[in-house]
């Protein structure tokens, strides 16, 4: 059964082998933010009963990696990462709520 990406998986994907990359707290914060954003993009997520499938887990990992690899001096915009076609494909068919313009 798929689960949300772990800190160890994120560190492996980023090829982080030590704790000197601003410590685990920085990467854990990025991981948690990415998971929270996926849940928001899906809409009406219930932590008690909903579990991520492989696509949602990969979407969270993709978002976390993109955030972590963003240049430190560049303005960070989650909107830019969220509009990425690969991220949108992973969320395809999972949305429960849509924004109304």
Residue 50 lies in a domain: yes
**pLDDT one digit per residue (tens) for the chain, 101 residues:** 789 999 999 999 998 877 655 655 689 999 999 999 999 988 888 898 899 999 999 999 999 998 888 877 666 666 677 778 898 899 988 877 665 55
Is position 15 within any domain? yes
CA distance 63 to 59: 6
- Is 100 contained in some domain? no
Q: Is residue 101 part of a domain?
A: no
Give the whole-angstrom CA distance, residue 76 versus residue 70.
Answer: 7
Contact 13, 65 (CB under 8 A): yes
User: For residue 73, is it within any domain?
Assistant: yes
As to burial, measured by CB atoms within 10 angstroms (0-12 exposed, 13-18 middle, 19+ buried), residue 17 is exposed
pTM of the model: 0.83
Rounded to whole angstroms, how far apart are CA atoms 55 and 91? Answer: 7
**Is the residue at 98 inside a domain?**
no
Q: How confident is the model at residue 77, as a pLDDT?
A: 63
State which residues form the domain around 59.
7-91
């Amino acid at each position: 059964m798929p689960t949300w990406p772990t800190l160890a998986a994120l560190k492996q994907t980023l090829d982080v082998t030590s704790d000197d990359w601003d410590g685990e707290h920085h990467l854990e914060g990025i991981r948690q933010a990415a998971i929270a954003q996926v849940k928001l993009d899906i809409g009406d997520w219930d932590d008690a009963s909903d579990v991520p499938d492989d696509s949602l887990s990969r979407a969270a990992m993709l978002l976390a990696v993109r955030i972590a690899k963003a240049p430190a001096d560049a303005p960070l915009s989650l909107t830019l990462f969220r509009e990425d076609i690969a991220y949108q494909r992973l969320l395809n068919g999972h949305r429960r709520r849509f924004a109304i313009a």
